[in-house]
Amino acid sequence: MKHFLGAALFLFSIALAHPVPATQIRTSAGTYYQIDPLELKAQLANKDFFLVNVHIPYEGEIVGTDALIAFDTISSAKNLPSNKKTEIVIYCRSGRMSQIAAMRLVKMGYSNLRELKGGFNAWVAQGGKLIQRQR
């Protein structure tokens, strides 16, 4: 029994240390992917993507955020990458606003889009930190 519990704890710790692969989300306008906080953390170590907080009202952000764009104004945002193949990761507090923004971005032709599943609530639950931008 001790060996079984030890093996189970070892496998559980390995599972926590490795991000879950992105989940494909298909919409009528196209496809985007949901990532979990561990995958985002791994990507931030060698950041080569555009990170956007779409939550309103402002309640903080993940370090490395490139832009704050309200989810309901994303269709008219001027500070999105002009290259629609640029990898963009979006998030909000819980995931609801970022899912809406993801569908709008896909409809606009962005083809390399990721959305943080569970938003920054999930990020914080996994040990991530939020910062407050000076306003």
More confident residue, 132 or 4: 132
CA gap 21, 31 in Å, rounded: 15
Radius of gyration of the chain (CA): 16
User: Is residue 1 domain-resident?
Assistant: no
What phi, psi does 22 have (nearest 5°)?
A: -60, 145
Highest average pLDDT, of 1-5, 40-44, 130-134, comes from: 40-44
pTM over 0.85: no
Query: Is the pLDDT assigned to residue 2 strictly greater than 70?
Result: no
User: Is residue 14 domain-resident?
Assistant: no
User: Is residue 74 domain-resident?
Assistant: yes
The rounded mean pLDDT for the chain is 87
Domain holding 115: CATH number? 3.40.250.10
User: Is residue 13 domain-resident?
Assistant: no
Q: Is 127 left (phi over 0), alpha (psi -120 to 50) or beta?
A: left
Q: What is the DSSP string of 16-76?
A: HHSPPPPEEEE-SS-EEEEE-HHHHHHHHTT--SEEEE--SS---EETT--EE--GGGGGG
User: Is residue 2 domain-resident?
Assistant: no
User: Is residue 111 domain-resident?
Assistant: yes
Give per-residue pLDDT as tens, 21-61. 689 999 888 899 999 999 999 999 999 999 999 999 999 99
Give per-residue pLDDT as tens, 79-94. 999 999 999 999 999 9
For the chain, what is the domain count? 1
Per-residue pLDDT, 7 = 46
User: Is residue 108 domain-resident?
Assistant: yes
Place 97 in a pLDDT band, splitting at 50, 70 and 90: very high
Which residues form the domain of 111? 20-131
